[in-house]
Structure 1
Amino acid sequence: MRFDIITVLPGLLESPFAHSILQRAQKKDLLEIHVHNLREYANNKHKSVDDYPYGGGSGMVMQIEPFAACIEKLQSEREYDDIIYMTPDGVTLNQQLANELSTVQNIMILCGHYKGIDQRIRDIYVTKEISVGDYVLSGGELPAAIVVDAIARLIPGVLSDETSALSDSFQDGLLDAPLYTRPADWRGHKVPDILLSGHEGKIAAWRDEQQLIRTKERRPDLLND
């Protein structure tokens, strides 16, 4: 699977992709992540990619020409299943969407900055608009990293235990059950006896019950959907 990310701040994306699971996935050739500096496609000597908005107002808007040049160059090299724009007014990322996106081959992600990008880029090139929550960040780089991480861990072979992702929160519409490890007794705080019993059927039933209890307490909206 390949991700191409377009940004004015490529340095912001160096660390998230250079460690842990995503680093190992790239080393095993299960995943390619390419970050493209939008300023390289600017058509002026100062390499600026933003300008004042038509109609007035505060802030700056990212111009159409650098984005179009970069997108079209990438499209000339391969076909993309989706071109995603990270924006607070997009559809909220959830596990179902991550599952769907993990089945495709090539994804391009556009990172906005300043006040946002020229609407014509969204109208002409973008196939999906995704938000990571009802809040505003300084740019789309951190949301892009979140999207890549959420998708990549679902690719077969990326996780050492492929069944792990199947038991994550939200995969079955519920939050995960409480988790414990050694020691069994820490300062009088003990692991539930059922988890030490070795009875797989009873443990599975306990986990199912705890998932339901935790979801009712913390995210009852998931049960109402």
Structure 2
Amino acid sequence: MVPMATHVITGAGSGIGAAVARRLHERGDDLVLLARDAGRAKELAAAHPGARTLVADLADPDRISWAFGHQSLPDRVDSLLHVAGVVDLAPVADLTPRTWREQLNTNLLAPAELTRHFIHQLRLTRGHVLFVNSGAGLNAHAGWSAYAASKHGLKALADSLRHEEHEHGVRVTTVYPGRTASPMQAKVHAQEGKEYDPARFIDPESVATTILMAIDLPRDAEVNDLTVRPGR
């Protein structure tokens, strides 16, 4: 009997992450959902009956090892899905080190640290690491320097990891969604001083479809980079 696939997912509370978690849960896969605190873990567990949770604050990657040292990590991991992210727009002239660190910690350092913790399990299953990046990971515009820098770094992390883990059979994919209807997009519009109309942007379900396509691809192929743009 083929064992059920186990997926570790960040950002499962809303947007793209929530859509991915729901789809995988509905088809009967095992979920390990990362939460920033115990209260959030309880909410995620209630939304996905049978799912396991891990508590670690991605905004503080230095303490992820400590947090995991007090919890049981899954023995099996078939995919590690990095979906969580934060954004805070401002021109370079107004950005403080704290704002830079908040985005670099959550968007870049935490994914690197989580990957380090789960790479052994991923090698055993010849699993998959998938990074949800952003169009800002390919092109930076005014006001987006800190966020784009974190996402450019995430691309470099994924590209290096792909080369390093090829011999172990671990596949690595980066998905670059365009503007997607989500709480993050609502925040971006508020910071840009623009009216937010979710109907103008990509449905998180559409991005979830591309993510599942990538991780479900037969073993004879690997999607390295996948850009998803609004069709409207």
- Bigger helix share: 2
TM-score relative to the length of structure 2:
0.31
TM-score relative to the length of structure 1:
0.31
Structure index of larger Rg: 1
